[in-house]
Structure 1
Amino acid sequence: MAMKVRAPQWPDPRSMAGTVIVLAVITAATACGSPGPRGAGQKSPAPAVSHGPGGAATHRNWPAAVPDTGLAKGLVLPLEPYMMNYPQEVTLDNVSHRMTTDCMARYGFHYVPAPAGDYPPPSVDAANMVRRYGIMDPAQASKYGYHLAHDAGQPPAPPMVTAAEYMVLTGKAGADHAEPSAKLKYHGSEIPQGGCLGEATRKSGEDVDQTLVERLNKDSLDRSRTEPQVRAAIDAWSACMKKKGYTIANPLVAGDRIGGDSPSGPEIDQAVADVSCKAKTRLVQVWYQADAALQRKEIEQNHLALAKVKQQLQAALRNAAKANG
């Protein structure tokens, strides 16, 4: 993300007919996207339960702050304290949603986004530790193969808005929904830059820039894979898999050829072998140590810029706390 934590995506205007528009406000989920493959066969996670209209989502299905099962248990990377995690994202998102609702009400529109937190990603932040080095949990592998534990469920249908609501919400108008060259007005009242979404983003502080952190996070994963000790461990893992009947050179794409909406017997067998070989060759420990070492160097080289990133996030969360009363 460059990281506008929320990345609203709008339907192609060319597919719209009439004055009613399907509004797809899609949050960046995973929020915090993965620096690399999260494992083949990964589907969208199932929803948590929402209590009451616009109420708080249960935390039951939220990802753990630190992996608590499998080969990644207890592993935390040095860059993670600089990353926006999922609970923080939900906090900022809900404040922004409320501000968007208030802004729309000023123009006479009733607009209430669905509460954040109902559709959690599998990982708590962009480090994606639960799948950073491929599948790593033997219990999940034996039950779900390369699929995630929570695969069912889809977000509710996006709200329907009129062309006027869309203009006030986004600050865009016209057939092509382009950025206007002049300030837009609705019934004589000037519309904020970027519409109510833009105003809410600025006021809530949810446009926390995580670009640097995510770039460094991805770089350390990519570079660590080329370290001699990691290459040797991957080769050992591949040889172990070969003995079990699987010819795979890269653990990050081990499940790519596995298809289907639900795990099959052959998929589960391969996933179990995958985790078993990781444990036998200590691939996760070796890779994590190389990855973490590179991140510590990155922090030393970028400590001032990273300090600013952390300060910006903390300031946004303080503002959110004030907004929540």
Structure 2
Amino acid sequence: MRYARADRLIQLALEMQAARGGLTLTDIETRFEVSRRTAIRMRDAVLRVFPQADEVPSNDRSKRWRLSTPATRPLLGITADDLATIEVAASRMAADNLIEAADDLRGLASKIRASIAAELMRRIEPDLGALAEAEGIALRPGPRPAIAPALFATLRGAVKACRKVSFSYAGRASGNTATRTVRPLGFLYGHRHYLVAINDADPAATVRFYSLPQISRLRLTGESFVRDPGFDLRAFVAPSFGVFEEAPVDIVWRFTAEASAIARQFQFHPSQTSEIDAEGRLVVRFHAGGLLEMAWHLMSWGDAVEVLEPAALRDLLPAQMPAWPALP
């Protein structure tokens, strides 16, 4: 169970240290998404390890516990902006169903809070509260990948330890399931999240993408592998617009004058250059593969964008693009 993991108990100890008013059993239930019985076990485990924890007097009937550590040294330079940025990033990851990564970020924030002197934290908290209200996360509407947190956690551990993993992989088109044993190298996040890995059965050792929602029955094998020190994930995906491997070609898009102000706020590809023509239209050029994913993206712009090159990309779009929403 998740509460039995040592890192969860350490996290609870840090939360008890960071909360100046102490934590109730209800706080523990909410923070760790556990039952009351589990919350009691977690609290008791921390109190056994840290007998110096205090029961904090309160005006309500709820009992609160706080862990005091006078030896804690303040971390100089920490601001409300820093803590708010961590929470924004954690919320974004949670919105994309990367629950373990979001928990890790919030754990980092708790460690920082616990390491800050009480006086400094009292000065930071008002600003932090204001930022928490002001800096919301724009959640993407529509479907999102369904990924079990335990699956992602296992894969991330395998990537760090250079351990091979085996799993069942369901083909999107056929629906057939096959077993794969791979050397995991990293992750690629986007509309869908992918494991970047090398299939052990591939003599050419080609780097491939495996959609995380299509992975099941994941297990660590007893085998390790040596990661190629020359492999750079950023460099590997740079020639692509998305995750589909395709020879890069010259891309030229032209946005209408009405949409140019919005389009200039986007970086469509790291290699892009852009210019405004005599009619106020934005012309964007870059070199990349992945025409199908480009077509999916361009559909969101409707008739506000025109594909000048290549013709193969233009042919993937409908003859009549939907009308682009009028600017407010």
Larger radius of gyration: 2
**TM-score, length of structure 2 as denominator length:** 0.24
Higher normalized contact order (CA 8 Å, seq sep 6+, divided by chain length) = 1
**TM-score, length of structure 1 as denominator length:** 0.24
